[in-house]
Structure 1
C-alpha cells in the first residue's frame, strides 16, 4: 500500500491553523495581548510553509525520506499549534460571555469556575506555549530551505460546489446485466444442494474491486433464494476473524441478541438449529483453520441444504474453509467497463468530444476488468474537459498489475481531490469496514473537527452536504440509502465505503484513526498519535481508562457505541476533544464540562442520559447538540 498511496494531505491542516490564527475574536477580545509580534511572525511563516507543501509531498512520494520526516514533523507541530489556538478562541468566547453578562444570568461564581483565567496568568501561560510553537516552526523553515523545497502555485479551489446527483448510474442495474450468468450459476449451486445434509460452502474469489460483494447482494436478494431459505444472514468479516464476535454478529443480524448467560456460539447454534439458512460472510481473510472449524461446528446444526456464501480476495481462504465449490469471478467485460466510464464521464451534460470518446477505449485497458476502477477513473475524468487533461490522467494512471491490483487508479482518484476533501474522506477511517455511516452526523463531525472551509455565502452544514455529494459523485461513498424513522417523522441517509477505499483512508491517516470493536490484547493499541477513536467494545470504559493511564493521545473525536458501566477516568487528558458521541444505555454523564472546552459536537441520541452536569453552559464552542430519542432530560441542581 505504501508504494501507491500518497501521504496525508497536510495542507488543509496548516490552512486550518491559518484560519484559527486569523479569527476576528482574538483581536476583538485582545486574548493575544503582549504576543502580537509572535503572532505576526507565525502567520508569515505559515504562509511560507503553505507555499512549498505541494513540492514537499511530491518529493515524499518519490521516496525522499527527509521530505517524509519533515512532513511528519510539520503535522505534529500543526496539531499542537491548532490546540493552542483553540485555547485562545475559548478564552475569547469566555470573555465575550462575561461581557454579555452570561455568568450573572447563570448565577455562577466566576472565581470558582475559572480560577486560572486571570489575564496576567493567561498571558504568561499562553505566551510560553506560543513561543514553543514558533521555535518549532522556525526549525521547520530552516529545514525547508535546506531541502530546497520550491514554491508551486495551487489551482484555484472552486467554491461552486453544486449539489450533485450522486446516483449517477445504478451499479446494481449494470451488475444485474453484466453478472447475470455468474448470478444464475451460483443460485443454481445453492438451490441444487437442497437435500444435502452437509453444510455447503461456496466462496466467490476475485481481485479487490471486481464486484464480488455486488454480485453476492444480487444473489442474496434473488426471489428464488428468499423463498428457498428459511433464514438469510449477512455479516461483513474483514480483517479480524474472532469466532465469538462473529457468532454474536450473526445472531444480531437475525434481529436477536445473544443471551448474557450463554456463550455466543451457543446462541448461534440455537439460532440455526434445524433451519435451512444462507449465511453470507463478506470479505473473509482468515487463514487459521482452527477458527473456521470452531465456527463450522455450530453452523453444521442447520437444516439440510444450508449454505455459507463467502467473498474473498484470497484463494487459500477457500481451501481452508473446505469449500465444496470455489467460484472464481472473472474480469468484467470491456463493453460494461466502457459503459460505466462513459456514464461517469459524460453524465453532467458535457458535450461528448469526439477525441475524448475515442480515448475511452484506452482508459478501459487501465481498469483490469474492475468496475470499481472504471468508476474511479470515470469520476476523475468527469472533472476534466480537454484532451490535454485526459492525456495527463492517462500518463499518471499506471496499468494495474497482479501485485498492485487497482490501487494505482484509486490512489489517482484520491490525489485528484481538493485538499479539504482529502481530509474529509480520510477521516472516515475512524469507522469500521462495512459500517453504515449516518451522513448528517458525518457532516457534523467534519464541522466539529474544522475540516470544512468557511464561506461567507453558505453555512458550514450546506458546504458539508455539497462536499459529501461531490465525494459520492466520485464514488468515494456507495450504498447511499434513505430510510424513514418513527412513523415517517424524519428520514435518515446512510452510506458505506468500499473496503479498498477504506484501506486508502486508513493508510492516509496512519495511526490517527483507531477502531476498537473488541477488547485489545494490550494498551499499545492506542498510540500517542491517535486523534479519532471509535469504540464498540463491551467494556469500553475499561480499555480506554487502562490505556489513557499509560498514554496521552490528543483525542479530538470519541465515538462510543457500547454501554458504559462506570465513568471515564483521567479526564484532563480529554482537553482536545472536539466531538463526542455517547453510546446507548449510558446512565450518567461521564465527562465533566470543565474538561471539554473545545467540544463542538455532542451526540447524546439514544444515550439514556437523564441529566446534564451543572457547568454544561460553559461549553461556548458547542455548535451541535443531538438530543434525539433522549427523554425527560433535566438539569442537575
Structure 2
C-alpha cells in the first residue's frame, strides 16, 4: 500500500492558504461576489489540515484513510488550478490598468478580454461557476469523512532543518532502458559509427563487426527487469570475440543473475554491523556530540540493526538524524510503524528517511519521480520547474524563490537523496536507483514516466507530471494516449544523451497542446521543431517553457498571453531572429536565456518592462541603437550571469550610466564585449568613458572584457573593494599599454590575459603599489598572444615581491618578444606550459619546483649540452608526472654517439623525475635517436609518444644496454616520423641479442604499440613476440613494412 499523503499535502495546503489570502485574488473574489464561498473553503481546509498528520500516520495500516488522502490530493490539485485561473485574471486586469493611459500593443492584444472583464461579474464564465460549485461539494464531502475515519487533530512541533553542505557519495554507471540504446552505447565505446543505423539489427551488425576477433571486457552495471529473450539478443554480438573475452554483470535481482546462465554468480553479503554503524555514525554525528546526550549512541545502534547491513540505508538514515539532536526524535525513528511493513522493494529505512522530510522537501523530492534512472541533471533543471509547480513560495521581503530552491536542492543533496555524478564531476547530479524507486513509490499515480511499458498508460488519467525518454524520431502515435491526461501539469521530454538531437514531427505540438490546458512546465528542448503553434498562448497556467537547442525561427505573437510565464529558455536557438512584439506582456518572467542564439538581431522592444527578470543571459546592442542600453537600468533585480555585446554602438556614456550596474548586487558574472573590428581611434575616449561608468557592484565574482579598444583600463578594475572577485579575463584589449593592479584582489583565483598587444612590461603596476603580497590566492595564470610583452619584473620599486605563492598553473603562449626568465619562487606550481616564446630563457632554477607534476615546452630555445646535463641532473622533481616537449631544436651534440660515454658518468648519482609517468615529444629537430642518458632510471614512465620528429631514424642504439630503462612502459606510440627505419638498431648476432633481451626488464610490460605514418619503417624487433602483455598492435600507413618477425621455433 503506497503512502500517498506523504507526498506533499502539508506543504500543498499551505500554498493554497497563501493563495486564498492573496490581496489581488481577494479583490477578484469580491468583484465576482464569491467571497463568502471562498471563506468557507478556507475553513474546511483548516479542518482538514488539522488532522493531516494523523492521517499520514494511519494510512500505513488503514486503506480507507489512504483512499481519503488520494481524494484530497486530487481535490488540492483542482483547487490550485482554479485559484490559478483567478490569479491569471487578476494579472490581466493589472496589465489592463497599467496600459490604459498608453496606446501600446498590449491594449490591442487584450481588447477582446476587456469586454468580458466585468467588475460586477455579470458575464462571469459559466464554466468557472460550475468548477466553484464542484470544489465546494467535494470539500464538504472530505470534511464529513474526518469523523467517520476517526481522524484527530495532532499538534506537531517540527524542529527547523539546518542547511548542511553537500556530502560526497558514490555514483552508479548509466544503464539504458532500451536494447537499441545500450547496444549503441557499446558501439560508441569501441569507436564504431552507428549514427546511420536506425534498427536494432543494424546496430548489432555494427557491434558484431567491431568486436569480431578482438579481446574485450564489457561491464553491465545494475541490470534489472531484463527478459530472457532480451538478454539473448543483447549478448549475440559478443559471440565472435577472441578467446578470453569477459562480460561482467551486476544486479540486485537473483533471477537476473541466474538467467545469465554461464558461471555461478557471486552474491555480495550485507555489511557487518560494525561497518554499517561506522557509515551511520559518520553522517549522523556530523553536527551532534554524544557527550551532550550519551543515549543517542545506544539508540543509533538499534536503528542500525534495522538497516539490515545495507550501506545506502545507513547513510540515508544518518543524513536524516544529523539535524535532530534530541533523544525523542531518535526514539521516534526507532519505534515508527514503517519498520513493520513488508518491503515491497522499498526498504523501510528509505521510507523512513522520506517520512521525516519537512513537507516542502517531500513535494520537491516526489516530483523527481519523473526523472529516468541514471538521468544526470543540473540544479536549475529541478529548481526552475519546482518554482513553476508552486513548490517554492516567496515571502514578501524574504529570500528569492531561486535562492530558496537552491537551499531545498542542497538539503536533499546533504541527505543523500541526490548524489554528484561521477561522469560529469562537479556540475551534474544523479539519483541512486533505490532513491529513484522511492520517489516513484511516493509519487505513485501523480508522476508518469513514458518508457517501454504500455501498461503505464492506464495511470495517465490521474497523472499530473509526465516525462518521456526521447527517441530518434517521435511521432504523434507515441503520445496518442495523452488525451486522457487532461490535468497534466508537466510535459518533459528528456534525453539520456546530451548532444543528440531528436526529431519531433510537427503534428505533436499541434495535437498535444490543445489537450493539455493545465500545463505549467513544458519542454521541447533538443527537439528538431521549427515553429511553435499559436495555440501556445492558450496555456494560461504555463510558467516554464524550454525551447533550447531547437530550430525555431520565430515565436508566435500569442506568446504574450502567457502572463504567468516565469522561465523562457532559448539557449542554442541558432535560427531565432527576433522576438514577438508582445513579449513585453510577460510581466511574471524571471528567467530569459538566449545564450548562443546567434541569429538574434536585437533585443525585443519593451524588455525594460519585464521588471520581474532575475536572470537575463545576454543584452544585444545594435548599430544606431546604443541608447537602448539604458533599458537595462529598469531591470533592477538582475542576478546570475549577464553578457552585454555590441558596446561599440554606445556613443553616449550617459546612456551607459543609466544601466546602473553598480546597483545590481546579485550579479555574479559580467561579460562586456565590443566588436572585434571596432578599432576606431576617434571614439577611443568614448569607449574608455563607457567602460568607466559600467562599474559593477563589488559583489561580482567573475569579470570578462573582450575587444575593448580604449587606451587604458578604468581604475575600478583591480579595486580592492571587489573582495568576492575570483576570476578575470581580459581579451584582445589591443590598445591598452599597461595592466590594471590585479594583484590587489585578495580573492582572485583565475586570471586570463590574452591579446593585450601594447603591454611591454609586467611589474609594479600589475602587482599594485604598496601591495606586499600580490595575488595571495591566485591559482591559474595564463598569458596568451601578448605580442609586445618584453619583460616580467619581480619588483615593486627596489623591493622584490613574493607573489603567486599559491599558483598551481602557469601558461605562457605566443609571446615572441618576452625576454629574461620566469619567476623562481612558485612553491605550489603543478603545471607549467610554455609555447612559442623564442626569446625566453628557461633556467634550471625555474624548474626546481617540488610540486611540479606537468611540464609542457613548445618552440623555445634548447640550451647547450653542458647546460642540458646540468638541468637534467638538478631536476630533483619528485612530483613530476608529465613532460611534454614540442617544436624545439636540440644541439647536434645531444645525439652524438661519441659523447654518450662522457655523459653516462654524470648520470650515475642522479635520481631525477622518479614519479614521471608520461612523456610526449613532438617536432623535435635534430633528434636522430633517443639519448640513453636521458631515459636512464625513468622507472615510472608508462606512456611514451613521439610525433613528427622527421630526423628520427631509430629509437635506441645498442638496445641490449638498456637494462632498467623504462621498465614500466605500457604504451608506445610513434607517428609522422618519416625517416624512421627501425625501432631498435639490431646487431648481427640477433639470436644472442634476443636471448639477452629476454633476460632484461626493458619494455616487458608493454601492452600497446601504435605506429602510424612512418613511411620508411622496414622492420619490427625480432623479439616482439616475447612481450607477454602486448594486447594491442596498430600499424597504419607504414608502406615499407612488408612482414612481421617470425617466432623462433627453438
Fold shared by both chains (TM-score > 0.5): yes
* Structure 1 residue 533: Cα displacement: 1.1
* Structure 1 residue 620: Cα displacement: 1.1
As a proportion of its length, which structure holds more helix? Answer: 1
Given the superposition, is the C-alpha separation of residues 375 and 577 from structure 1 closer, same or farther in structure 2, using an over 3 Å criterion? same
1:161-240 aligned within 5 A:
162=163, 164-167=164-167, 170-171=168-169, 235-237=174-176
1:264 is matched with which residue: 200, 203, 210?
203
Alignment correspondent of 1:589? 531
1:421 is matched with which residue: 345, 361, 364?
361
1:380 is matched with which residue: 314, 317, 320?
320
Helix, strand or coil for the counterpart of 2:492? strand
- When normalised by structure 2's length, the TM-score is 0.50
* Structure 1 residue 171: Cα displacement: 4.2
Is contact 2:19–2:25 with CA below 8 Å preserved after alignment? no
Alignment correspondent of 1:635? 579
2:30 and 2:541 mapped to 1: Cα distance? Answer: 16
Helix, strand or coil for the counterpart of 2:504? coil
Alignment correspondent of 1:355? 295
Alignment correspondent of 2:914? none
* Structure 1 residue 287: Cα displacement: 5.5
Alignment correspondent of 2:492? 559
- When normalised by structure 1's length, the TM-score is 0.80
Tell me whether 583-592 or 111-120 shows the greater mean CA deviation. 111-120
* Structure 1 residue 621: Cα displacement: 0.6
2:324 and 2:548 mapped to 1: Cα distance? Answer: 42
Helix, strand or coil for the counterpart of 1:533? strand
Alignment correspondent of 1:136? 138
Given the superposition, is the C-alpha separation of residues 86 and 5 from structure 1 closer, same or farther in structure 2, using an over 3 Å criterion? closer
* Structure 1 residue 117: Cα displacement: 3.9
* Structure 1 stretches lacking a partner, 5+ long: 173-213, 218-233, 485-491
Q: C-alpha deviations, 1:492-521, integer Å up to 9, x for none?
A: 732111211211211211122111234x54
Is contact 1:397–1:412 with CA below 8 Å preserved after alignment? no
Give the number of aligned pairs. Answer: 560
Tell me whether 260-269 or 468-477 shows the greater mean CA deviation. 260-269
2:563 and 2:108 mapped to 1: Cα distance? Answer: 17
Given the superposition, is the C-alpha separation of residues 350 and 465 from structure 1 closer, same or farther in structure 2, using an over 3 Å criterion? farther
Give the RMSD, CA atoms, in angstroms.
3.0
Alignment correspondent of 2:417? 476
1:367 is matched with which residue: 307, 329, 344?
307
Alignment correspondent of 1:460? 401
Is contact 1:161–1:467 with CA below 8 Å preserved after alignment? no
Alignment correspondent of 1:155? 157
* Structure 2 stretches lacking a partner, 5+ long: 495-501, 582-1050
* Structure 1 residue 303: Cα displacement: 4.0
Given the superposition, is the C-alpha separation of residues 403 and 445 from structure 1 closer, same or farther in structure 2, using an over 3 Å criterion? closer
Is contact 2:538–2:561 with CA below 8 Å preserved after alignment? no
1:348 and 1:411 mapped to 2: Cα distance? Answer: 23
1:571 and 1:4 mapped to 2: Cα distance? Answer: 32
Is contact 1:454–1:460 with CA below 8 Å preserved after alignment? yes
> Structure 1 residue 292 and structure 2 residue 231: aligned?
yes
Is contact 2:532–2:552 with CA below 8 Å preserved after alignment? no
Helix, strand or coil for the counterpart of 1:505? helix
Alignment correspondent of 2:184? 248
Alignment correspondent of 1:533? 466
1:127 and 1:157 mapped to 2: Cα distance? Answer: 42
* Structure 1 residue 37: Cα displacement: 0.8
Alignment correspondent of 1:83? 81
> Structure 1 residue 12 and structure 2 residue 14: aligned?
no
Bigger RCO of structures 1 and 2 (CA < 8 A, at least 6 apart): 1
1:84 and 1:574 mapped to 2: Cα distance? Answer: 15
Is contact 1:259–1:267 with CA below 8 Å preserved after alignment? no
1:404 and 1:524 mapped to 2: Cα distance? Answer: 22
1:573 is matched with which residue: 511, 515, 531?
515
Q: C-alpha deviations, 1:342-391, integer Å up to 9, x for none?
A: 11011126464433234443333222211111112212221221333322
* Structure 1 residue 235: Cα displacement: 4.4
Given the superposition, is the C-alpha separation of residues 326 and 157 from structure 1 closer, same or farther in structure 2, using an over 3 Å criterion? same
Alignment correspondent of 1:98? 96
Given the superposition, is the C-alpha separation of residues 471 and 25 from structure 1 closer, same or farther in structure 2, using an over 3 Å criterion? same
Helix, strand or coil for the counterpart of 1:331? coil
* Structure 1 residue 312: Cα displacement: 1.1
Given the superposition, is the C-alpha separation of residues 134 and 261 from structure 1 closer, same or farther in structure 2, using an over 3 Å criterion? closer
1:286 and 1:599 mapped to 2: Cα distance? Answer: 36
Is contact 2:28–2:86 with CA below 8 Å preserved after alignment? no
2:464 and 2:197 mapped to 1: Cα distance? Answer: 33
1:547 and 1:5 mapped to 2: Cα distance? Answer: 25
1:101-120 aligned within 5 A:
101=99, 104-106=103-105, 109-110=108-109, 114=113, 117-119=116-118, 120=122
Given the superposition, is the C-alpha separation of residues 537 and 481 from structure 1 closer, same or farther in structure 2, using an over 3 Å criterion? closer
1:448 is matched with which residue: 383, 388, 397?
388
> Structure 1 residue 607 and structure 2 residue 550: aligned?
yes
Given the superposition, is the C-alpha separation of residues 116 and 264 from structure 1 closer, same or farther in structure 2, using an over 3 Å criterion? farther
1:82 and 1:508 mapped to 2: Cα distance? Answer: 20
Greater Rg, structure 1 or structure 2? Answer: 2
Q: C-alpha deviations, 1:288-344, integer Å up to 9, x for none?
A: 322211211112234443322222122221221123342211222333222211110
Alignment correspondent of 1:620? 563
Given the superposition, is the C-alpha separation of residues 78 and 5 from structure 1 closer, same or farther in structure 2, using an over 3 Å criterion? closer
Helix, strand or coil for the counterpart of 1:300? helix
